[in-house]
Chains A and B, each alone.
Chain A
């Protein structure tokens, strides 16, 4: 989750980003090819790349572009020269990559460029009930914590030389999970206490100082989503 609001270079509203994530995933995974799809697909594939570049995430942009090109090249050059199981593997591998990568990239962009507070603001604007918005925001808050704890436990295991179970591979899972659960539960309890004493869960309409809103860029992105989805549906029905 993104952590500073000041240096925010993100241009899109969180709601737009969510719509993009869902659209990219469903069209690229579920959509066919040929016809108009030959334009829509590449357009959607380019969206995460463009967003990464705009927000100055050059490294992510490079990784994404490289991975996608690899998958694409694999499909183009390796598929014709292989046969049998090997061929199937390559087709599956590259096909999966090319279809899932853009959605996953968009998802990671969404998570990495939105603050918890912006998320909460977006959810309130969408009139999501508190029963969903509270756990959702807690969840986003908690991801980095789980990661941190996991890292610390990894260190401890390296130090003891039991990263792979210390001669008992069956125990590997147990050794990782037990301390992870114990510390997460403890931190979670402290987090709850501090949030509750500051009034989280009051049965009032929650306000938010985050400035989110639909701007021209958002409209353009939403238009792209709507068009893509319409063509996806047309494509589906025309198949039937």
Chain B
């Protein structure tokens, strides 16, 4: 793995990030209906697993996955989901990159685990909703009274980030398994891997 990242690899990163992003955005459209928002922590990693596993077949060098996560962070940040994701995505990306590397970018188990970790970036989108909800409800308190606002607060408890985090990770694992299944079933046989 001494080789350096070349232009060809960088182009691949760009292409697959675009695909990942479009696919995830397609799924995230469901988020316009608020009850589906928590569900996104399951769906986005699950669907994203398909392009990601295909991407991984092109990855042989350390850094490509990290760059992808930085790009996703920047893009989501620019698209207006706040700054949290800009920080969290690269962290999960670099951790995932280490996991993939330890498996020589070939091990099946490591790639499933790695994508689980990578998927944690999705949580970055939820943090602003959970963390800043007090601000929002402060406003409600002044408008409708404390008791009323507290009832509402119960719908989004403080600990709600933890199950969401778990959901991201676990659906990441499942997404990776799904992606690998499609890889075997289609992409390998179609000769594009």
Contacts and interface: CB of A to CB of B under 8 A. Distances in A.
Which of B47, B132, B140: most chain A Cβ within 10 A?
B132
Nearest to B193: A185
A191 B136 CA distance: 47
Contacts of B155: 88, 92
A30 B132 contact: yes
Contacts of A173: 47, 50
Range class of the A interface residue count: 35 or more
B30 interface: no
A134 B14 contact: yes
Given A110-B78, A135-B67, A182 B14 contact: no
Interface string A149-180: 01000000000000000000000011001101
B1 interface: no
Contacts of A204: none
Interface residues of B, number: 55
A147 B18 CA distance: 10
Interface stretch (B2-10, B100-108, B115-123): B2-10
Interface of A: 18, 21-22, 24-26, 29-34, 79-80, 87-89, 91-93, 95-96, 99-100, 102-108, 110, 130-132, 134-143, 145-147, 150, 173-174, 177-178, 180-182, 184-186, 188, 191-192, 195-196, 200-201
13 contacts: A21-B80, A26-B82, A30-B83, A33-B136, A87-B152, A103-B80, A132-B71, A134-B14, A135-B14, A135-B17, A139-B75, A177-B50, A177-B51
